[in-house]
Structure formats: structure tokens, C-alpha cells
Amino acid sequence: MSDLTRVADRPERLMGETSEGAQELTRRIDTSTDELGREVGAVLRLDGVTLDPRQVDYERHDDETMIINMGPAHPSTHGVLRLMLELDGEFVLRTKTVIGYLHTGMEKTGETLSYVQGATNVTRMDYLSPVINELSYSMTVEKLLGVEVPERATWIRMLMSELNRVSSHLVWMATNGMDLGSTSMMIYGLRERELILAFFEKTAGLRLNLNYVRPGGVAADLPDGWQDDVEVICNTIDERTYEYDQLLTGQPIFRNRLVGVGSITAEEALALGLTGPLLRSTGVPWDLRRTMPYLAYDQVDFDVIVGTYGDNFDRYAIRLNEIRESIRIVRQCVEKMPKGDYRSQDPKVTPPPRARIGESMEALIHHFKLFTEGFHVPAGEVYSAVESPRGELGCYMVADGGPKPYRLHVRAPSFTNLQAIPLLMRGGSISDAITMISTVDPVLGEVDR
């Protein structure tokens, strides 16, 4: 009968079951100097100067401040992010993120899947930008293989990535709106995203985890009449971004919540390894599509949006304007889409056409081998990166000559960007903490992998 006693009656057991030990925020006297420095957001280093973080907030004792826990099941933490905050009244002194609640060992799984199956795995990491995940993975495999991707496949990839970027930013607009109390924006953002997901479904057969970009090309050609669909998407979303402007950009309450809140400098952003809108908001014009072009980004015309102050409003404005820039790229893709193959004709990576399988035994065997054993990739190690909506999405791969990657590591932008949270939170109020999480835009599937 002892099992039937209420858990709440045994707090020590409850503590034992939920505690993450040293991963959590502890009292100041139990925290080492370096760790304390991190938790109060000390980032920059100065030669010859040592600043003791214990001198920060020294007038506050441990019994005057309060350590509270936020998440991992908090609706505004964008998933299962858990924050531990040390509060002085309503103001945040120290922050520590506790992550790993969504860890499913995808890098380990990636080592047991063949290169053909791998795209199915990585597409589930950053679930808001699946195409870009697959693209990063496929480009890394192609770099190891030395396979040339046909021009049409390149442009299809670019079209799909940009549509995906728009849909990802729309979800961000929606959730950010909701975090700030604008529930209308929530509905509008998801409504517009639905247009893009419907197009994805028409093209790839799936709405979210597409498995569309694969090593050697893409899974299927664009459907008949795709130009009209894309045209409708572009026109609708382009027009609606101006409605968002009217709804949010100039609205005094919205501006007061964002302008001047959570500023970071370019030096801090670089030191922390931040990429994407977080880095660009500080005025650093770093966008891999422009600075280290991949696919055919050097053949399209678009602007890299940068901010000035590195505050929340800059990050909002950057994402809103990146939607417009992506729409611009999508329009150019429609215009310039070349004819040709949508996947490489290298028989090593591409299965024979469906019609051949019915009539040729060799084609059938080839098809079977490709999907059971997979293709062999020459030994080597390689890193390649693309610009995801959240920053630099890199893929480091070690191949040992077999049909499966020996090591697959994904450099997830959200994982690194989360390190900015203690810095952003420091000194702000607890209500702004929600906005900070939102403008960092972490996708926990990618953080925990």
C-alpha cells in the first residue's frame, strides 16, 4: 500500500525524481567563479583585467533573492526549454538554461542509418525548417561523394528552402505575437504558413518532415502548375506583411515591449558564436547565402537585412523583412527555373526510373541494393554549412568508406544561440524574459537533437 501514498507527501522523492543535480542553478556560495560569470552574462574578456563575478550584486545575499524554475512545460518556452532564474524582486540577476528534455540521440541514430535514409533523420531536428536541414545533410554527403547536382535540382532546392524560411519566420511571428499578447498575430501567422505547407504537401507528399532534398538532388519534380501556386503564395504573403506592419510594427504597446530591450553588441555576439538574425541585429552583415554562397544564391538578387541596436525590435524587424527578401528570391526562382533533371543521373546515388524496374532485372537489383545496403561514400571528413532561419546550420560528417556515416554531427544554430540567454536576461524584468526567449527563436528539437 505504500505506493499509494500521495507523491506530494514525500517531497524528497519528488525532488529525487525531477532533480538534474549540477545542471541546475545553485546558490551563489555553491557556484564557482567562472560559472557565476556565465550565469550573470559576463562574456567579453579584457586582457590584464580580472573582474570577480562575486563582486556583482554583492549587496544581495542568497536569502534576499529567489531562485525560481520556469519550464520545461511552460507555454512560452517554445517547447521544453527549462530556465532557472535568480530573481531580485521582479528583476533577473542570473539565468541558467537546462536542456536535454527532447534529446533522442539523433546523432547516434544517424550512425546506424545509411546515407539514403539519413535525410529522414535530420529532417526531424529543426522541425520548423526541415528542408534546410535536409539540404545541409545532402550537401555534406555530396561534398564527400563529389557528385554534381543538376541545375534544376539546385534551383528547386533554393525555391523550397526560401519557402521554408518564410514559413519558419511566419511561425516565429505568430509565437512572438502570442508571447506579447497579440493573439491575432498568432492566428495570422499560422494561417499564412498553411499556404506554404499545402504547397509542400503537393510537391513532396508531406507537410512537415518532407524528406524531399536527398543526396543527389530532390525526391520529385515540382508538380504541374507549380508556378501558379507559388505566385499565389508570393502575392498573398507579400501583401500580408504590410498588414503585419499595420498590426504590430507601429503599435505603441508592441514597440514599448521591444525597443531597447535585450540589447547585445556585435563583440558579444561574435564571442558567443551567435549566428543568424541574432548576429545580424547587431549590425554584422553576415548571411551565408551572401558571404559564402552555396546553391545558386550568387545568381539571385536579395538584400541582407541588418539591425543597428541589437535589441528585440531589430530582431523582429529583421525577420519580418527577411520574409520579404525570401519572397523576392522565390519570385526569381520561378522566373529563372531551368529545365532538366531534378536529380543527378549518376547511377551510384540515383535509383533507376520506375519504368525500367518492370523490364530489367539489373535495374531491379540496382534499385534493391540502393535501398537496402545504400551507396558507399569514400572515406574522409567534411564540414559544410548553410544559412537556416536561425543561423549557421552546419553538418560535420566522418565517412569510413561504408554505406553509413561513421560520425554525424549537426551544428545546430539554436543550441549555440541559447548561450545568449543569460546575457539577454540580466537586469531585465521577468515579463521581458518571455520576449527574450522568443526573439532568440530556439527550436528545441534542434537544440536537443
Partner 1 sequence: MIPRPPLAPPGVLIEEALACDAAFFAPKEDYVALAGALKADGFEMCVDVCGVDYLEYFDRAVPEGVVPTRFEVVAIFLSLSRRQRVRVRVQAGNDAPRVDTLFHVYPGTEAPERETFDLFGILFDGHPDLTRILMPEDWEGHPLRKDYGVGHVPIQFKEAPGPR
Residues that bind partner 1 (CB under 8 A): 3-4, 6-8, 13, 17, 19-23, 32, 34-35, 37-38, 43-45, 99-100, 103, 105, 107-108, 112, 143, 270-275, 284, 286, 291-292, 379, 381-385, 392, 394, 396, 398, 400, 406-407, 409, 411, 415-416, 418-419, 448-449
Of 23 and 120, the one with the shorter C-beta distance to partner 1 is: 23
Nearer to partner 1, 325 or 448 (CB): 448
Name the one residue in this structure whose C-alpha cell is 519557402.
163
- The residues, ordered by sequence, that sit 6+ positions from 427 with a Cβ below 8 Å of its Cβ are 91, 92, 93
Q: Give min distance, CB of 235 to partner 1, in A.
A: 36
CA angle 25, 26, 27 (to 5 degrees): 135
Nearer to partner 1, 20 or 303 (CB): 20
CB of 44 to partner 1, least distance (A): 8
Residue 114 CB, shortest distance to partner 1, in Å, is 14
Cα of first residue to Cα of last residue in the chain, in angstroms, is 40
Q: Which of 37, 106, 107, 25 is nearest to 66 (CA)?
A: 25
φ and ψ at 413, to 5 degrees? -60, -40
**Alpha carbons 251 and 14: distance in angstroms, whole number:** 45
Contact (Cβ atoms closer than 8 angstroms) between residue 367 and residue 352 = yes
C-beta separation of 315 from 417 below 8 A: no
Nearest distance from C-beta of residue 166 to partner 1, angstroms: 26
Q: How far is the CB of 276 from partner 1 (least distance, A)?
A: 12
Helix (H, G, I), strand (E, B) or coil at 232: helix
Q: Please say which residue, 276 or 351, places its beta carbon nearer to partner 1.
A: 276
CB of 7 to partner 1, least distance (A): 5
Whole-number minimum distance, CB 6 to partner 1, in Å? 6
- Give 103 or 336: the residue with its C-beta nearer to partner 1: 103
Exposure letters 271-301 (e unless 16+ CB within 10 A, then b): ebbbbbbbbbbbebebbbbeeeebbbbeebe
For the bound state, the minimum distance from the C-beta of residue 374 to partner 1, rounded and expressed in Å, comes to: 17
Residues 6+ apart with CB under 8 A from 74: none
Nearer to partner 1, 141 or 323 (CB): 141
Query: Which CB sits closer to partner 1, 164 or 414?
Result: 414
The residue among 168 and 384 lying less far from partner 1, judged by its C-beta, is: 384
Positions of E strands within 6-157? 66-70, 82-88, 91-98
Q: How far is the CB of 360 from partner 1 (least distance, A)?
A: 36
DSSP annotation of 249: I
Q: 44 or 232, CB closer to partner 1?
A: 44
Alpha helix (H) residue ranges in 5-88: 11-18, 33-39
Closest by CA to 79, choosing from 387, 388, 441, is 441
* Phi and psi torsions of 304, nearest 5°: -90, 120
Least gap, CB of 57 to partner 1 (angstroms): 18
3-class DSSP state for residue 396?
A: strand
In this complex, which beta carbon is closest to partner 1, that of residue 26 or of residue 438? 26
Pairing of strands 82-88, 380-388: unpaired
